[in-house]
């Protein structure tokens, strides 16, 4: 029976070939073909589906959990497989294989492609990027440089996903060209295709890695959590260049401060630059 119903019956676990399980859902007909002795078995379903449980185990034929990469490539493409393997976690650690994550990585690559194309319409422009777009780009470049040196590929891919969310629908060449170069070690096929569509004759592998500019990546504003006796009550945005005294003055003048001070008084205001503000109250 399906995993959510197993406590209602006496059960014996059966290992299932991971290649016939999709997002934890068993392909029953494929299972019957794989295990003919279960051809006439009755499957107890949840909402019309058979949900499989799972456990973290090393890949082995005896556990039927060896994933055929050819099937992944046929369904999603080689770039998705490469990206997903790196996205699972630190490269030196054992990680559970979860096919649900493959869809997310594949959607990320499709989203990247849609910055260049809307069906058959080429979207790339030569418009100048905004400060916020340059900030998102250079935060990614800096993160990628650091992570690649430490083989932390999973955090680079996470940073790439964050950057794409921050960039929204930006289709400016000044942003997309360096993004394509940064992506190329992780998804070389899509990067190579887009690099040539951007008008380059040489391979993207010969392109220099984009130069990181800390001044462009720097945050102009800091969002301070403001705590009163250790409990966060509200957030205050202040220029990153503000001195602690200026941040303290802004907190004291904030419209919500009297509400949390109440009948107490402010003993002192502790400002950790760029991090947090704690207002110490006393009777």
Nearest to 98 by CA among 88, 108, 107, 106: 88
What average pLDDT does range 135-160 have in this prediction?
A: 94
Residue 138: name the closest of 221, 216, 208 by CA. 216
Return the CATH class of domain 101-216. Answer: mainly alpha
What pTM does this model have? 0.65
Query: SS in 3 state form for 263-275?
Result: CCEEEEEEEECCC
pLDDT digits 0-9 by tens, 151-194: 999 999 999 999 999 999 999 999 999 999 999 999 999 999 99
Residues of the chain with CATH 3.10.20.590: 221-282
Question: What's the full length of the chain, in residues?
Answer: 283
Q: Classify residue 249 by its DSSP letter.
A: H
User: Taking a C-beta distance cutoff of 8 angstroms, is the pair 217, 139 a contact?
Assistant: yes
pLDDT category at 206 given cuts 50, 70, 90 is very high
Record: fold of 221-282: Ubiquitin-like (UB roll) (3.10.20)
SS3 (DSSP) at 248? helix
pLDDT digit string, tens, across residues 15-67: 787 777 877 888 899 889 888 888 888 888 888 899 888 766 665 666 555 66
Instruction: Tell me the pLDDT band of 125, cut-offs 50, 70 and 90.
Output: very high
Residue 54, pLDDT score: 72
201: DSSP letter? -
Judge contact between 179 and 133, C-beta under 8 A.
no
pLDDT > 90: percent of the chain? 62
> Where along the chain do the CATH 1.10.730.10 domains lie?
101-216
Mean pLDDT of the 95-120 span: 87
């Amino acid at each position: 029976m399906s995993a959510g119903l197993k406590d209602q019956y006496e059960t014996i676990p059966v290992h299932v070939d991971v290649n016939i399980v999709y997002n934890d859902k068993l392909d029953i007909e494929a299972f019957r073909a794989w295990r003919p002795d279960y051809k006439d078995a009755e499957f107890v379903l949840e909402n019309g589906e058979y949900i499989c449980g799972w456990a973290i185990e090393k890949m082995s034929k005896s556990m039927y959990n060896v994933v055929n990469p050819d099937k992944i490539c046929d369904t999603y493409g080689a770039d998705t497989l490469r990206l997903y393997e790196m996205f699972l976690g630190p490269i030196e650690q054992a990680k559970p294989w979860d096919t649900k994550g493959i869809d997310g990585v594949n959607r990320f690559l499709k989203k990247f492609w849609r910055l260049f194309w809307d069906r058959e319409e080429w979207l790339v422009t030569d418009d100048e990027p905004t400060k916020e777009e340059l900030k998102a780009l250079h935060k990614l470049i800096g993160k990628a440089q650091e992570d690649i040196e430490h083989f932390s590929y999973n955090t680079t891919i996470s940073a790439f996903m964050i950057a794409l969310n921050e960039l929204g629908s930006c289709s400016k060449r000044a942003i997309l060209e360096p993004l394509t170069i940064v992506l190329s070690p992780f998804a070389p096929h899509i990067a190579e295709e887009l690099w040539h569509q951007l008008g380059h004759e040489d391979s993207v592998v010969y392109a220099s890695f984009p130069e990181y500019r800390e001044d462009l990546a720097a945050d102009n504003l800091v969002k301070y959590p403001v705590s009163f006796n250790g409990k966060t009550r509200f957030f205050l945005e202040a220029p990153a260049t503000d001195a602690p005294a200026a941040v303290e003055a802004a907190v004291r003048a904030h419209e919500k401060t009297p509400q949390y001070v109440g009948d107490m008084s402010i003993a002192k205001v502790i400002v950790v630059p760029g991090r947090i503000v704690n207002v110490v109250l006393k009777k």
